[in-house]
Amino acid sequence: MLGGTGEARALAAALTERGVRVISSLAGRVANPRLPVGEVRIGGFGGADGLARYVTENDVVAVVDATHPFAQRIGVSAVNGASAAGVPLLRLERPGWQAGPGDDWHWVATLEEAATKITHLGERIFLTSGRQGLAAFAGCTGQWFLARCVDPPAPPLPPKIEILLDRGPYDVPGETAILREHRIDVLVTKDSGGTMTTAKLVAARQAGIPVIIVRRPARPAAETVREVAAAVAWVSAFPQV
């Protein structure tokens, strides 16, 4: 299983309880990741060919891609690698977010587009799009940024920035306090989906703050389920496991 998400950890736990041998692969981009139960490997495969070789050499009978919806590169490698190895692939991908009454959402295709759009929306920006995308805002000299990351980011960074190191899940009172304390007037995030970080969206709605949301990147077509239970059923259908 290609993991790193809450759904991946839940799936690993559910399958392990059923006696299924699960090997969870993590990219290794977070210093202290939350580890799933079962076997864990950390680090990349070296592209689709490396993944196919690993699958073949370790007698893997099925691959589940339960990575983050924005993990585009591994999504491509998963489809191509599983196909090359001749094993079935399932993508476990949480649904994206949907705007509701009172939401002021502005959709963009990239973080670079978000950096351009904020100039028309506000001056104090709460960035919750991950440390690897902060370079897109390095040229924004007219805004002040609060960037929340799990690990410290590397430059280039915006000239006026404060880093908040934290890890979800979050709640609405806590997110509301952050918006008030830092006088935030724009929230920037990615369409990660799920419930772990939705509190910021609720807090922004209640405060009347606009939200810039980056759309998910395209990934190759693959059989996809949205719920962990469906993934459990898919894996359990293989007699080899």
CATH number, domain containing residue 55: 3.40.50.720
Task: Categorize the per-residue pLDDT at 241 as very low, low, confident or very high, splitting at 50, 70 and 90.
Answer: low
Same-domain check for residues 129 and 152: yes
Q: Is 188 found in the same domain as 232?
A: no
- DSSP lists the bridge partners of residue 89 as 63
Instruction: For 145-200, write each residue's pLDDT tens digit.
Output: 999 999 999 999 999 999 999 988 899 999 999 999 999 999 999 999 988 899 99
Is the pLDDT confidence value at 25 over 90?
Answer: yes
Which CATH number do you get for residue 114? 3.40.50
**Per-residue pLDDT band at 33 (split at 50, 70, 90):** confident
185 and 210 belong to one structural domain: yes
CB atoms within 10 A of CB 109: 11
Q: What is the predicted pLDDT for the residue at 168? A: 86
100 is a domain residue? no
Same domain, 142 and 61: no
Domain assignment present for 159:
yes
Task: Express as a percent the part of the chain with pLDDT over 70.
Answer: 99
Contact criterion met (CB below 8 Å) for 118 and 125: yes
Q: Do residues 61 and 26 both lie within one domain? A: yes
Residue 21 has pLDDT above 90, yes or no: yes
* Cβ neighbours for 204, distance < 8 A, ≥ 6 positions apart: 103, 104, 179, 187, 210, 211
Q: How many CB atoms lie within 10 A of CB 27?
A: 18
Residue-wise pLDDT tens digits, 63-117: 999 999 999 999 999 999 999 999 999 999 999 999 999 999 999 999 999 999 9
In a domain? residue 69 = yes
Predicted pLDDT of residue 124: 98
How many structural domains is the chain composed of?
A: 2
For residue 31, is it within any domain?
yes
For the residues 17-40, what does the mean pLDDT come to?
Answer: 90
pLDDT score recorded for residue 240: 67
Rama region for 130: left / alpha / beta (φ>0; ψ in -120 to 50; rest): left
Q: At what angle do helices 172-181 and 199-207 cross, to 10 degrees?
A: 50
Q: What is the CB neighbour count within 10 angstroms for residue 7?
A: 23
127 and 144, same structural domain? yes
In a domain, 241, yes or no: no
